[in-house]
Amino acid sequence: MDHEASMNAALAATSVENCYQCGKCTAGCPAADEMDFMPNQVLRLVQAGDADTVMRSRAIWLCVSCLTCTTRCPQSVDCAGVMDVLRQMAAGQETVPPDMQRIKVFHRAFLDSVRRHGRINEVELIMQFKTLGFLKDRNMRLLMKDALLAPKLIQRGKFHLQGESVRDRAVVRRIFDRCMPRADRARRATADKDSASGGVV
């Protein structure tokens, strides 16, 4: 399936065609100022079937999934859901712009932590994000950035050294197994083995 066909299939559950470009989504979007395409423009590109442009955009990675656009839309278009689908597709097809790679790494670290524990283990999340981020761009600043904030956050109870897990982690794993593509599952299984033997995932 080419990019356009898979985009159309993934978005079939939403009502993208109902968007009439009123711009209410963009007007409420907290990240719009930083985006290369405004949320309503992303919708327009999707309507036009321009998969290549939209999947290489920075906008879909700068979206913070706040759902403001979805709740404001007079046409009940799930704009935030569209952003989410596009992110998943861009990640799977390696069309993430170089300066957005770190955001992709953060998404991965976040989801891995939830998959393992059923909730976020903050230390593990940061370790994985910083290590994989550094391996991607060899930027020492990423490793050290925010380090001085940690003691203050711990003092205020905003950062927890001790991670917790939900009781029934098997249920969480089953949810992920159902949602993850087969190739991704195989990659994760390998990463879990590396992790268990002391490597970094």
Name which of 43 and 125 has its Cβ closer to ligand SF4. Answer: 43
Give the nearest distance from C-beta 89 to ligand SF4 in angstroms. Answer: 16
Residues that bind ligand SF4 (CB under 6 A): 19-25, 28-31, 39-40, 43, 63-69, 72-73, 75, 77, 79-80, 83
Query: In Å, what is the CA distance from 196 to each residue of 21, 116, 145?
Result: 50, 12, 28
> What is the helix, strand, coil percentage profile of the chain, to 5?
65, 0, 35
Give the nearest distance from C-beta 35 to ligand SF4 in angstroms. Answer: 8
Q: Which of 114, 104, 101 is nearest to 163 (CA)?
A: 114
Q: Which residue shows structure tokens 């994989």? A: 132
Q: Which of 68, 99, 100, 98 is nearest to 81 (CA)?
A: 68
Name which of 8 and 195 has its Cβ closer to ligand SF4. Answer: 8
Name which of 28 and 163 has its Cβ closer to ligand SF4. Answer: 28
Name which of 51 and 83 has its Cβ closer to ligand SF4. Answer: 83
